[in-house]
Chain A
Amino acid sequence: MNNKTLVIWFGFFSGICFVSFASGASQEFPVSPPPITEGMFPCSSCHASMEVNRQKRELKDEHSNIKLHHAETMRWCLDCHDARNRDKLRLYNGELINFTESYRLCGECHGNVYRDWRAGIHGKRTGYFAGGKRTYLLCAHCHDPHDPAYRPIKPEPPPLKPLEGRAGHFLKNR
C-alpha cells in the first residue's frame, strides 16, 4: 500500500467517525418514560399473532381514539411503527429504535427542532444543569405524534387586584 492509498483510507475512516458523531445518534439523552397508554405496551402481545395489513384505512376495532392529523395524506401507521416488530419504531434507513429514542424518528423530518432539542432549547429539561442528573422530555410528552398541535390549557387564576389584595381585605372584615 503506497502513501496515497493510506491517506485516502484515513480520510474515509475519519469521515465515517465524523458523520456518526455529527448525527447525534452517539449522544445519549436520559428521558422520562415514554407516554404510552397503560396496558398498551408491549404492542407485540396483540400484534405478534395478527396478520400485517398494510392497507390505509379507518381503525374501527382498536386504536379508534387515534385520529391522524400529522401530514395524514402522505403518512400511515407503518411509516413510523415497524410492521414486523411492533415494539419498535422504524427510521427511514430501516433501523429499529425503542420508544425511548423516538426523538431520532421525529428528527428525521424536523431537523432544526431536533438540533434545538439536543441543545436543550426546544422542549424541557428538569433536574440538575450541573453536577447531577438531568432529564429530557421526549417530543411525544408534549406533542401527540398522531396529532402534534399543542392543546390549549386552563390558565391559573390572575393576581388579585390591589383592592382585593389589601384594602378589600380590610373592607370585608370591617
Chain B
Amino acid sequence: MREKDYTRREFMRNLSLTALGSLSLPIFFSACSKQEKEDFLQKHFKEMSEEEKRHVIAKLEQRYLEQYGKKFHISTQEAVPGTLWGYGLELSKCIGCRRCVYACVKENNNSRVSPQLHWIRVLRLKRGNLINLEDSEHYYDPEMVPEKGYVYLPVQCQQCEDPPCVKVCPVHATWKEPDGIVVVDYNWCIGCRYCIAACPYKGRVFNWAEPNIPKEELNPSVHYLGNRPRMKSTVDKCTFCIQRVRSGRYPACVEACPTGTRKFGNLLDPKSEIRYLIENKRVFRLKEDLGTEPKFYYFFES
C-alpha cells in the first residue's frame, strides 16, 4: 500500500506543534529554579567524566548541607577489581525480629513515614510450607519471636546476575555494576516503576513523596549510587550497602542481626565466608526457575 501523502492541513499542524515545542522549552527553563535546571540537564552517571562527577558531588554536598545542616561525604568509589558480592542467610537461625529492617532504614537514609520505605521484608511462613510464598505474612506482630511452628524468610534485592528490573528500564537508569550490585541513578530515573513490576522478589520501592528523615538520624557517609538521600518519584533498592562493602565493611543488616543469620562475602575469593557456606551447606536461591541467577543464598544447618 502506498503511504498517504501529507496534506497541507497536516503540514501546518506539525509545523505549529514544532514551533510551540521549541518556544516552550525556554519558558520551561525560565519557570523552574536553577537547581531544577541543573538537575534536568545532568548527564547519566555512567557518561559523566571525572570532572563532571566532582562538580555534581560538590553541588550535592552543598545542597545537603543547606537542606539537612550536615556535612555529607558522597563517595563515587568504583567496584573493586576481582570482587563479586554474594549474600548468605541461614533460615534455621532467623527469628524474625526485624532488627535488620530498621538497621537498613537507618544506614541507608530511607524515608521513615509517608512513605515508609523498607528494603527488607521479613516473611513469616508456616513450618513445612516454605515453597508457598503466597501464603506468607509480613505484618506479623507477636509479643515475642521466634514463634512456634513458623519460619522466617527475609527477602530483599537478590542482586540477580540477570536482573529483570534492568532489562525493563526504558531509560537505562538502573544497571548491574562489575561487582554484581544492581544500582539506580536516582537523577536519571523517570519514576515509571516498570522495574518494580518486573522484580519477582519485590525488591524495589518507590518514593511516592519527598523522603521523610529525621535530621539527627541522617547517615552522612553515603555513596552516590547508594544511600544518599533520594528525592520524590525515584525508585530505590538494597545495594548490599554499597557505601560499606566497597571499603571492606559488612553490610548494616549483617552487623545488626542478633543471631548471626546473615553472611556476606566475595564469591570470587575461595577463602570467603560465602564460598565456605556454598560449599559446605545446603543452599538454595529464591525462584531459581525464573533464571534470574540471584546472588543471595539461603541455607540450612546441616
Interface residues of A (CB under 8 A from B): 116, 119-132, 137, 142, 150, 152-161, 165-166, 169
Contact = CB atoms under 8 A, between A and B. Distances in A.
A155 B141 contact: yes
A152 to B, nearest CB: 4
Interface string B83-124: 000001010000111110110000000000111101001000
Nearest to B272: A129
A156 B276 contact: no
A126 B244 CA distance: 12
B250 A165 contact: no
A119 B273 contact: yes
Report whether over half of chain B's contact residues are helix, strand or loop; otherwise say mixed: loop
Interface of B: 88, 90, 95-99, 101-102, 113-116, 118, 121, 138-146, 208-209, 247-250, 254-255, 257-260, 263-266, 272-273, 276-277, 280-281
Contacts of A120: 263, 273, 276
Contact of A158 (B139, B209, B272): B139
B116 A155 contact: no
A155 B145 contact: yes
Contact of A166 (B88, B90, B114, B259): B114
A114 to B, nearest CB: 14
A84 B265 CA distance: 44
B248 A156 contact: no
Given A129-B273, A156-B102, A158-B138, A121 B97 contact: no
6 contacts: A124-B255, A124-B259, A128-B247, A128-B248, A128-B250, A157-B98
A158 B276 contact: no
Contacts of A169: 113-114
Contacts of A126: 250, 254-255
B115 A142 contact: no
A152 B257 contact: no
Contact of B144 (A152, A158, A159, A161): A152
Contacts of B264: 129
A159 B121 contact: yes
Nearest to A126: B255
Contacts of A127: 249-250
Contacts of A131: 247-248
Given A129-B250, A155-B142, A150 B259 contact: yes
A153 B258 contact: yes
Contact of B250 (A116, A121, A125): A125
B276 A119 contact: yes
B146 A152 contact: yes
B124 to A, nearest CB: 10
Contacts of A156: 97-99, 101-102
A137 B260 contact: yes
Given A120-B263, A166-B114, A153 B97 contact: yes
A143 to B, nearest CB: 11
Contacts of A159: 101, 116, 118, 121, 138-139
